[in-house]
Amino acid sequence: MKILIVSDTHRQNNNLAKVLDKIGKIDLLIHLGDAEGSEDYIAAIAGCPVEILAGNSDFFSELEREKLINIGKYTAFIAHGHTYYVSLGPDTIREEALSRNADIVMFGHTHKPMISTEGGIVTLNPGSLSYPRQEGKKPSYIIMEIDDKGDATYAIHYL
């Protein structure tokens, strides 16, 4: 199973389309917010089920702000992250995910990619495909793959 995790596209979807062409078939696309009204377009080009959340720039969106989802044997807490002060670090959102018995927490908002395993939970931030802020400022995303045994691996990729 291949899962594409993105965030903070801010209605600039050209790079998302490029990523989808580049990586081939996926089984799930997770967008962690700030799509700014392009969620129907994203769902149309994904070619698979889509989980998409509202972020702080999705002012009039009726999308959910956070949720728990099951991916294989894993429970993931997904949120944009701004209400958990992720700009100051992942501790608060990580604690929230643990309180919900999640194995994985995924968030965006910072526009900086990260993969971390601390405190018994995998923490993922794909960065931004449209407005990256990390050193080098390359558009980024995460691919999560689940093997035949049901075990997950995670990798940050750059466009």
Q: What is the pLDDT of residue 120?
A: 86
Per-residue pLDDT tens digits for 95-109: 999 999 999 999 999
Count: domains in the chain: 1
- Mean pLDDT, residues 7-14 taken together: 97
Domain assignment of residue 104, given as a range: 2-158
DSSP code at position 82: G
93 has pLDDT over 90: yes
Helix pair 39-46, 14-23: axis angle to 10 deg? 20
Residue 27 has pLDDT above 90, yes or no: yes
Alpha helices in the chain, H assignment, sequence order? 14-23, 39-46, 91-99
Looking at residue 135, which CATH number applies to its domain? 3.60.21.10
The structure's pTM equals 0.97
Q: Is pLDDT at 119 greater than 90 in this prediction? A: no
Cα distance between residue 111 and residue 129, in whole Å: 8
